[in-house]
């Protein structure tokens, strides 16, 4: 069972993957800027089930992260949300997700949206050449993660990527989930870093207080 029925008419689709622990305005501005710049019919947020590379800290329950994303994307009809990674057993590998999406949305023009840091680590993910064969990649700028030398590295790993990987400059927001979690733990403010509804949910559920 998947939750992508109403996306079958989408011609061009953005995919915004992340742990979203919690979702914040950096994610939302990346998705919205990419949606408009590339004329995407929809950007689909896909929270990871079990992030393979985030073993160093405890990750919040997938359905709680899903709930926070739901609150954050509700007001934008150009945004959608899928639980396909959460439903899949084992670590969430992007390549598996893209293959699954491709199987369901056979004709869609897929665009994987990723911050510069995640693109860099993508080279160490499973099957990077396969990823860019299945989807175009929109590499959005992120403060603290320069892009220049990254593309030289990509040249070595995935030759001929020029028409598959695009750079997109977005408003610079030096916001990260790691910083938000630390702020909550230390009792510092998080208002204006993420949607108010998400902030309220974090407070109600008592997340990150003793991480
Ligand atoms: P953490 O600190 O826990 O790693 P994060 O803020 O990096 O959290 P993720 O869920 O890891 O958020 O990121 C999901 C995607 O969003 C990644 O592609 C990441 O590069 C991108 N992203 C996150 N924050 C920003 C930001 N402020 N600007 C641009 N892209 C961002
Ligand atoms: Mg991250």
Axis crossing angle, helix 62-73 with helix 25-37, rounded to the nearest 10: 60
The predicted model scores a pTM of 0.94
Q: Averaged in consecutive runs of 10 residues, what is the pLDDT profile of the chain (211 residues)?
A: 78 96 98 98 94 73 97 97 92 88 92 91 76 92 86 76 88 98 98 98 96 65
Specify the ligand 1 atom closest to the Cα of 116. Answer: 20
Residue 15 near residue 92, CB atoms below 8 Å: no
Residue with tokens 């084992």: 90
State the distance from the centre of ligand 1 to the C-alpha of 31, rounded, in angstroms.
11
> Which residues does a 6 A CB cutoff place in the pocket of ligand 1?
18-21, 26-27, 30, 114-115, 117-118, 140, 142, 173, 175-178
State the distance from the centre of ligand 1 to the C-alpha of 177, rounded, in angstroms.
7
Residue 172 pLDDT: 97
Residue 35 pLDDT: 98
- Encode 124-161: b = buried (16+ Cβ within 10 Å), e = exposed: eeeebeebbebbbbbbbbbeeeebeebeeebeeebeeb
Nearest Cα residue to atom 20 of ligand 1: 115
For residue 137, give the ligand nearest its CA. 1
Nearest Cα residue to atom 7 of ligand 1: 176
State the distance from the centre of ligand 1 to the C-alpha of 91, rounded, in angstroms.
18
Question: Residues with Cβ < 8 Å from 160, sequence gap 6 or more?
Answer: none
**161: nearest Cα among 184, 126, 130:** 130
């Amino acid at each position: 069972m998947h939750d992508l029925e109403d996306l079958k008419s989408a011609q061009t689709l953005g995919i915004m993957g992340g742990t979203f622990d919690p979702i914040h305005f950096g994610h939302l501005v990346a998705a919205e800027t990419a949606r408009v710049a590339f004329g995407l019919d929809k950007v689909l947020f896909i929270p990871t089930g079990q992030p393979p590379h985030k073993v160093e800290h405890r990750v919040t329950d997938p359905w709680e992260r899903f709930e926070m994303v739901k609150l954050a994307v509700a007001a934008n009809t150009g945004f959608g949300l899928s639980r396909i990674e959460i439903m899949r057993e084992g670590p969430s590998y992007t390549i598996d997700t893209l293959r699954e999406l491709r199987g369901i949305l056979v004709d869609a023009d897929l665009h994987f949206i990723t911050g510069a840091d995640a693109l860099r680590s993508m080279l160490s993910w499973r099957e990077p050449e396969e990823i860019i064969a299945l989807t175009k990649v929109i590499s959005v700028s992120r403060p603290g993660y320069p892009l220049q030398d990254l593309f030289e590295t990509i040249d070595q790993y995935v030759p001929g990527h020029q028409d598959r990987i695009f750079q997109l400059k977005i408003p610079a927001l030096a916001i990260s989930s790691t910083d938000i979690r630390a702020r909550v733990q230390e009792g510092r403010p998080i208002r204006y870093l993420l949607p108010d509804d998400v902030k309220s949910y974090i407070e109600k559920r008592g997340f990150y207080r003793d991480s």
